[in-house]
Structure formats: C-alpha cells, structure tokens
Amino acid sequence: MKELVAFAHALSDTTRWRIIELVADEALCVCELADILEMPQSSVSSHLQVIRRAGLLDSERCEKWIYYRLGAEKKDLVLVVREQFAASIDADTAIARDARRAKRRLAEREKSCCPGPRTLAHAGLDHGRKP
C-alpha cells in the first residue's frame, strides 16, 4: 500500500507533473530544471525526492551533477495516467512554456556548467509519447 500512496503523492502536485513532463524525454539535472521552472534549486530538489521515492526516476551522477529521467520501471503506468488526462495536461500553458524553456536550456548545455548525462542520454529515447 505504501508504494501506491507514494505514487499517487508524486503525481498529486502540478510542479511534480511539470518535472515528470520534462524528464520524460530528456535527462536533466537540478540546476537545469530550476532554470526551466524558474524555481529555487532547493524546491526542485524537494519535488525530485518525492518523485524519486515513488520509484519514478532513474538517475545518473556525472561529476558533481545528478541527472534525472523518467524511469523505465513505472514509465508505462505514468504514461497510462498521462493519457487519461492528456487534454488537461496538453492545455496547460505552464507545460508548454516549460517545453520551450527546456529546448533553449538544452541548446546552452555545452556552454553551461552542466556536462550532460552519459548513460541516461541514450536510454529510453522512445517511451511512447507523441512528439
């Protein structure tokens, strides 16, 4: 029962859904997520821990950065939930804005302090979402 409650808790917050949307397609570190979401890194880290405790994230340490990506273990379940609420999620202007900011932020990755992930960058590139 604890696993179910942790899963529901992870999905029960708008910011956590925004993070899940961002890490579904790309492994991102806390500083990248903080820039995209325009939130303090400490707040982003707190949300990531809730999502991580629910078993929804894979992570990879590269130097001093940790990159997070939607994990394979519960990915299908998250996608089923997302599909049921797709119209609401797709209509959310914050999610669309986050996607634009993520594209810009990733274009700057080579010039930023973040080296980028090694393993997660190539893992699970196609997880069933529509482009």
Of 100, 112, 96, 14, residue with least CA distance to 62: 112
pLDDT by residue for the chain (131 residues), tens only, comes to 999 999 999 999 999 999 999 999 899 999 999 999 999 999 999 999 999 999 999 999 988 899 999 998 888 999 999 999 999 888 889 999 999 999 999 998 878 777 777 777 655 444 333 33
Provide the Cα torsion 75, 49, 30, 87; round to 10°.
40
Specify the pTM: 0.86
